[in-house]
Amino acid sequence: MSQQLINHSIDLKRLRDEGYEIEVRGGHLLVHHIPYVGSDKTIKYGILVSTLTLKNGITTGTPDNHVIHFIGDNPCDITGVIISSIQHNVVTTKLNNEITINYSFSNKPPQGYPNYYEKVKRYADIISAPAKYLDKTVTEKTFKVIPDAANETVFQYIDTNSSRANIDLINAKFEGQKVAIIGLGGTGAYVLDLVAKTPVSEIHLFDGDDFDQHNAFRSPGAASIGELNENQKKAEYLSSIYSNMHKHIIPHSYYVQKSNIQELDGMSFVFICVDKNSVRNMIVDYLVRVGITCIDVGLGVEVIDDKLRGATRVTTVTKAKNDHFPTRVFADDNDNNDYATNIQIAELNSLNACFAVIKWKKLSGFYIDQENEHQSSYAIGTSKIFNEDAT
């Protein structure tokens, strides 16, 4: 509830977006890391505490009073003399079982404070001004990572990027989705990198391969020698990394086969990032039967006159539109498939993943889709994108 309150309240959201360390605890707003000068003329840090007035349970109203509390020593000016102009109460008081304040301050504008942004900023400016004078590097705006301690989201910490861009409601369109990524050799790993930054409910990773040294050169991030020496499975390795951000990444360290393909039944969407046509076709045929939309990606690169040429492919398959797939992907694992060569380059893997994720986001209503193409390819040599099989 606390993060929803911050996201829905313009004043609290502005404080967070500007870098203040804010926390909602019960009926109080806490602003951490407020610099001030102590009586010994050293710079210290305290916490501002204000009561919270809610307008409708999910947004803040006008502050009920102009007084603010403080946890710490009494702030002083640059000479170590207490800032007398804001003194209100010097008695240590227990507000609740979690919050005990040391001082209360009063600085009332003629019309009062219209919102919590103005209230917090005013007191923070007064209290921290002497400290900033003594040390120009001092700031209350730390942009410190805010953990999701209340377990309100699928992320380990709050998605302040979406809130700063004011796209929380648009981003919420991914909520509830269960996404599977089949194949994590190159493109699939980049798909994970992008999908892990969305609020989907679960991300399932399917791959039976080990994460070997060559994989490190075509996957996101930079694996250490120690990590490579651990001989981890791709699904386990990548899950351990991206679980630092997303709470619900589930590794399946085995291949998708006819014997276990029913595990995809609960998925909302599937990314197919494998290099065998027989596997592609088997998975796509099954997903069409059960009505799950998927995207199959391909990357074909070959050496021509000491240079590389090729293309990337993104093929979207739905229950309503799937007749084009056999014309885009061969049924067998032969060398005639333009997208079956094993030359993989990190930027092409990442580009292919970007095209695939953008299409998924279009299907989810995040981006506008004016083409409605179900086949898109990018030619490296000409830098042209070809959209086909539109509906």
Closest to 168 (Cα-Cα) out of 200, 203, 199, 202: 199
242: burial class by Cβ within 10 Å (0-12, 13-18, 19+)?
buried
pLDDT at 90: 92
Beta strands (DSSP E) in the chain are 21-25, 28-37, 43-51, 67-71, 87-89, 93-94, 100-101, 103-106, 178-182, 202-206, 249-252, 269-272, 293-304, 307-317, 375-379, 384-388
Name the band, by pLDDT with cuts 50, 70 and 90, for residue 341.
low
Average pLDDT score over residue span 332-345: 63
Q: Determine if the pTM surpasses 0.75.
A: yes
Token representation of residue 51: 């009561």
How far apart are the two ends of the chain, measured CA to CA in Å? 42
Within 8 A by CB and 6+ apart from 308, the residues are 301, 302, 343, 345, 380
Q: Are 275 and 185 in contact (CB under 8 A)?
A: yes
Residues 99-106 have a mean pLDDT of 94
User: Which among 22, 73, 15 is positioned nearest to 43, based on CA atoms?
Assistant: 73
- According to DSSP, residue 73 is labeled S
Class of the CATH domain delimited by 160-388: alpha beta
Q: Kindly report the backbone phi and psi dihedral angles of residue 60, in degrees, each rounded to the nearest multiple of 5, phi listed first.
A: -80, 150
Q: Which two tokens stand for residue 321?
A: 């539109």
Which residues on neighbouring strands pair with residue 298, listed in sequence order?
313
The two tokens of residue 238 are 């990548």
Q: Alpha-carbon distance 69 to 103, whole Å?
A: 6
Residue 326 confidence (pLDDT): 94
Q: What is the pLDDT of residue 369?
A: 97
Q: What percent of the chain has pLDDT over 90?
A: 79
285-311 confidence digits (pLDDT tens): 999 999 999 999 999 898 999 999 999
137 or 1: which carries more pLDDT confidence? 137
Enumerate the CATH 3.40.50.720 domain ranges in the chain, comma separated. Answer: 160-388
Which two structure tokens, joined as six digits, stand for 93? 């008081």
Q: List b or e across 186-214, with b for residues whose CB sees 16 or more CB atoms inside 10 angstroms.
A: bbbbbbbbbbbbbbbebbbbbbeeebeee
- For residue 324, the model assigns a pLDDT of 96
CA pair distance 218, 196, nearest whole angstrom: 18
Please check whether residue 307 is in contact with residue 298, taking contact to mean a CB–CB distance below 8 angstroms: no
Q: Which distant-in-sequence residues (6+ apart) come within 8 Å of 327 by Cβ?
A: none
Q: Are 119 and 113 in contact (CB under 8 A)?
A: yes
- Of 179, 283, 185, which Cα lies nearest the Cα of 233? 185
What does the pLDDT look like over 214-267, one tens digit per residue?
999 999 999 999 999 999 999 999 999 999 999 999 999 999 999 999 999 999
* 233 alpha carbon, distance to own chain's centre: 24
